[in-house]
Structure 1
Amino acid sequence: NMSAYATALKVGSTLLVLNLIASGATLPDIELENPVDDVLRVSQDKNATLKRNSGNSITALEIQESYLEAVERNYSGGNKESGWIIQEWKRTLDEFKHNPEKLSDRIDWAIKEKLFTEFMETENMDWDDPMLQSLDLEYHNLDPDRGLYRGLEQENEVYSLLTEEEISRAIEFPPEGTRAKIRGEAVRKESENIKSIHWTGIEFENGNILDLTGVISQDDVEKTHATG
């Protein structure tokens, strides 16, 4: 994904479903005959009907709606991020059904569909033209001077979750309550005392190890270094 909105929705909805699985909640009873092949089919036809092991057929939209319903049924509230994901997930599915053109500023396939359709009309091309493959690659080009998505961003043609200022700040100051935040603060304040630092922990020169797999604070970093 190039769209931050699409990425947030994808990762967020996946997290909510994983939380459902971890909680032991009842999940939709959906088993596809050929799930791997169906990924390709849906990428080529958004409304494709997919065969289930039960013998019935289902669409990708119906699968999404089933999982969204399960998430909503088990959502207890109180979590701002989860509430946003559910709201936007539902809105995206509703617009896909009724007004798919409204997704053309925030969902990658819809953005590309609009962009490529306009290009084909201007250049008198069809979907089989190899030029579209080149355009598809350029859409994902991260170079701000060459990437098609980056160009749309600069022209405010796509929806942005964050401002440039927020993004620049996040590079140096990760979100509160994250391991990235603790690692950053540790390097900033205790770099001369750190032997190694990695995904799950920080090892200090005095032999102490700070486990980052739980919720900790900067105070824990300083206490761990000071003890021993």
Structure 2
Amino acid sequence: MGIETEYGITATVDPQRRQLGPDEVARELFKPVVAEYSSSNIFLPNASRLYLDVGSHPEVATGECDSLSQLLAYERAGDAIVDDLARQAERSLDATVYLFKNNVDSAGNSYGCHENYLISREVVLKDLSRSLLPFLITRQLICGAGMVAPATATRPAQFVLSQRADQVWEGVSSATTRSRPIINTRDEPHGDSKRFRRMHVIVGDSNMAEPSFALKVGSMLLMLEMLEAGFELPNLEVADPIVRIRDIARDIDGSTELELVAGGTLSALEVQRQFHAAAARWLEHRPDGDPSQEDLARVVALWGRVLDAIGSGNYASIAADVDWAAKLALLERYRERLGGDWAHPKLAQVDLAYHDIRPGRGLADVLVRRGMLNRWIGDAAITRARDSAPPTTRAWMRGQFLEHARAAQAHVTVDWTRMKIHRPEVRVEEFLDPFDAASPRLDALLNYIDEHAANVPE
């Protein structure tokens, strides 16, 4: 599995100077990258991909990970890497650079946090979607990032659960930007296409709270495990899921009634309760000794606690774990001082500041430092993830290849599956199994690099 994170970017300068646009700031941020690699689209030493995406958004796509905590460490390492670039850009621009891990800017433009899960080629996507769509449109209850939604012609300004709920237009589609579906079906497995398929989920919010990230990814992992195993799940296919995802976002108590295709209705909260109950049963069937069992048991326990808190209306009890609840508590304190109007511009500023990734400046980090927002992993895991590839997947081989090439100043290129040496003779290997962390073919490439290191021109 892996996570792609797009960051919002802006900068402030002295009022007497010309203001800087996002494209100008992004170009400056990537200058050290281009200077070293002659490209703004690279693979980092930790096997993640760093690139400048459409709309001047820096983006980090983690290397392949095989556990929830490992993935979280590499997602957080991505924050640290782009923040380092922002600090360098500040010095060269003589400006303050801000990177925001959110999903909507002040003009209403959306940028994403995409989840990628490896699934079997034998799984039929249409069958998956029947269970996944009701799960995903209600998942925002447990891991939405929350947002102050501006007033429209039909709605006043209000707090909503999810930043992405208003930005999706289809349930399942091969498009990404044109129609922006909940599940993207573009067949791009980055592996053996006879064995694997990539489940590409683009409806989730970017998370600042580590437990929220764990709930987002962990609950989805459990759903996919159950579906692949043929484990019995409730039939909760929802009529008009795109309409309902917007309604759920505006109803933090989960009481939105959903019409089921099979007949009858259920509340959004009850849909989540039924999927949670199935996940709790599934934990008892998972193989003994699976290294992710502890992580997923923590997910199921927190998932149930969050649903109970929503059902009772005691949102304060989950404000240290769930982004939307943490942000709601923060905003409510300001709103009381500002006269109770959600449209007050100060609230939008606080909302945005929650997503600032700079340690000590972003409000989510301030809450962590004050013990008001919980952690899931430790700093040591994130520090390791900044410079070293995931040791248990194909990403490790990519990281080793890049490390050898850099030490030898060898001319190489990589992508998710291929590693190529350009000279003195072209050598290319393709690695199609994301679970392989070692290969004699990689050893041969590394030996070739080392043998010819002395022949690299000065």
Asked if these proteins are the same fold (TM beyond 0.5), I'd say yes
The equivalent residue for 1:198 is 415
Deviation string 1:192-222 (CA, Å, 9 cap, x unpaired) is 4673211123234552414052422345421
Report the Cα offset of residue 151 of structure 1.
2.3
Change beyond 3 A, Cα 1:223–1:93 = farther
Matched length: 227
Q: Which has the higher strand share?
A: 2
The equivalent residue for 1:215 is 435
Looking at structure 2, the residues matched to 25 and 204 of structure 1 have their Cα atoms a distance apart, in angstroms, of 45
Change beyond 3 A, Cα 1:135–1:121 = same
Q: After the TM superposition, which residues 1-228 of structure 1 pair with which residues of structure 2 at under 5 Å, given as runs? A: 1-46=207-252, 47=254, 48-75=256-283, 76-77=285-286, 78=288, 79=290, 80=293, 81-98=295-312, 99-144=314-359, 146-191=361-406, 192=408, 195-205=412-422, 206-218=426-438, 220=440, 221-223=442-444, 225=446
After superposing the two structures, state which structure 1 stretch, 71-80 or 44-53, moved more: 71-80
Change beyond 3 A, Cα 1:180–1:53 = same
Report the Cα offset of residue 145 of structure 1.
5.2
Looking at structure 1, the residues matched to 296 and 321 of structure 2 have their Cα atoms a distance apart, in angstroms, of 19
CA contact (8 A) 1:204 1:225 kept: no
Looking at structure 2, the residues matched to 20 and 207 of structure 1 have their Cα atoms a distance apart, in angstroms, of 41
- Amino acid of the residue matched to residue 5 of structure 1? P
Deviation string 1:152-207 (CA, Å, 9 cap, x unpaired) is 22333211123333322221124331333332222223544673211123234552
- 1:141 is paired with a residue whose SS is coil
- 2:427 is paired with a residue whose SS is coil
Change beyond 3 A, Cα 1:94–1:224 = farther
Looking at structure 2, the residues matched to 126 and 174 of structure 1 have their Cα atoms a distance apart, in angstroms, of 47
- Amino acid of the residue matched to residue 12 of structure 1? G
After superposing the two structures, state which structure 1 stretch, 99-108 or 122-131, moved more: 122-131
Report the Cα offset of residue 116 of structure 1.
0.9
- Amino acid of the residue matched to residue 265 of structure 2? S
- Amino acid of the residue matched to residue 28 of structure 1? P
Report the Cα offset of residue 122 of structure 1.
3.1
Change beyond 3 A, Cα 1:223–1:25 = farther
- Amino acid of the residue matched to residue 114 of structure 1? A
Looking at structure 2, the residues matched to 223 and 94 of structure 1 have their Cα atoms a distance apart, in angstroms, of 55
Q: Which has the higher helix share?
A: 1
Looking at structure 2, the residues matched to 189 and 149 of structure 1 have their Cα atoms a distance apart, in angstroms, of 38
- 1:50 is paired with a residue whose SS is strand
Looking at structure 1, the residues matched to 241 and 350 of structure 2 have their Cα atoms a distance apart, in angstroms, of 28
Report the Cα offset of residue 31 of structure 1.
1.8
Looking at structure 2, the residues matched to 182 and 93 of structure 1 have their Cα atoms a distance apart, in angstroms, of 41
Structure 1, unmatched stretches of 5+, are: none
Report the Cα offset of residue 136 of structure 1.
1.7
Structure 2, unmatched stretches of 5+, are: 1-206, 449-458
Report the Cα offset of residue 71 of structure 1.
2.6
Q: Quick one: higher RCO (CA 8 Å, sep 6+), 1 or 2? A: 2
